[in-house]
Amino acid sequence: MAHEWQPDFEKLVDEHQSMVFSLALRMAGDRGLAEEIAQDVFLELDRNMSKIKNPEHALFWLRRVAISRSSDALRRRRVRGLDLWVEMNEEHTSLPDERPSPLATRMEFLLTTLPEAQRAALVLRYQEDMPPEEIAATLDAPLATVKSHLQRGLKLLRAKAANHLREYIRGA
Amino acid sequence: MEPERIDEFEKELQQVLQRRPAPPSLKRKVMERRGFETTARRKHYWIAWQRVAAGLIMAAVLGGLMEWQLQRAEDRRRGEEARRQVMTALRVTERALNEMNLRLAARNRDPDQ
């Protein structure tokens, strides 16, 4: 008989908090909001623990819900008319030892100026190192659409980087 | 199939988009909120069960009351029926006695009959 996997909530939080937080941060562009989203995602996981079948399913589920809750949060912010971007290198938003480089900060800023679907595809592709097929499954979108988002997003980001980050980027 | 080509820009992007460490307070906050939610959920279930139990007790009391009322109405109906039968019997008896009285009175007036 196959050993049945027993999910341990605390262990899942330990393992995936960085991934969930980073996805939310790159999608929402605001550290405070990203932390709130990450908390909500884990609490939703807690409510759905009985449905999680194995560690791979937990990872897939967390990525999917993190992207989806980030989109919800952005929609709510748009409705309220708030500014989408809070500078990520502000001193009050990150700890001194984890402060990102100026290039990372500006690139992340440029990323948040992309359309949401392109941003989600790029973040999953380059942060999570996922192939387009997995991205399509995570975003519940057709593979061709995901490939198109990746291509267009990358092209747009490259163009923006060429204009704004000439001093940092070698390949732009 | 054409191998996937990753250029310099994509490598930079991969570097830039490395996972960031979560804030140290994230796990603590999640566990705290989880505790609150669990307590709230338990409280909610307890209240829901209390409501169900109260509803069942209320239904039982109302059912008992209705049964008692029906039983009472049936008893009253039976009582009324018995009283009616007794009254009929009394009326029949009264009529028979009256007839007997009339005959006795007639016999007393005319002893030859």
Q: What is the ipTM of this complex?
A: 0.77
Closest approach of B60 to chain A, Cα-based (Å): 36
Structure tokens at A108: 């992340």
Chain-chain contact of A18 with B20 (C-beta, under 8 angstroms): yes
What whole-number distance in Å separates Cα of residue A54 and Cα of residue A162? 43
pLDDT tops 70 at residue A164: yes
For the question of whether the overall pTM of this predicted structure is more than 0.80, the answer is no
Structure confidence by residue, pLDDT tens digits, B15-62: 889 999 999 999 999 999 999 988 998 999 999 999 999 999 999 999
Q: Which chain B residues are within 8 Å of A35, Cβ to Cβ? A: 22-23, 25-26, 29
Q: Which chain A residues are within 8 Å of B31, Cβ to Cβ? A: 10, 13
Chain-chain contact of B22 with A20 (C-beta, under 8 angstroms): yes
pLDDT tops 90 at residue A93: no
- Closest chain A residue to the Cα of B41, Cα to Cα: A47
Structure confidence by residue, pLDDT tens digits, A95-121: 545 566 777 788 888 998 999 999 999
Question: Each residue of B55-85: b (16+ CB within 10 Å) or e?
Answer: eeeeeeeeeeeeeeeeeeeeeeeeeeeeeee
Segment A79-104 mean pLDDT: 56
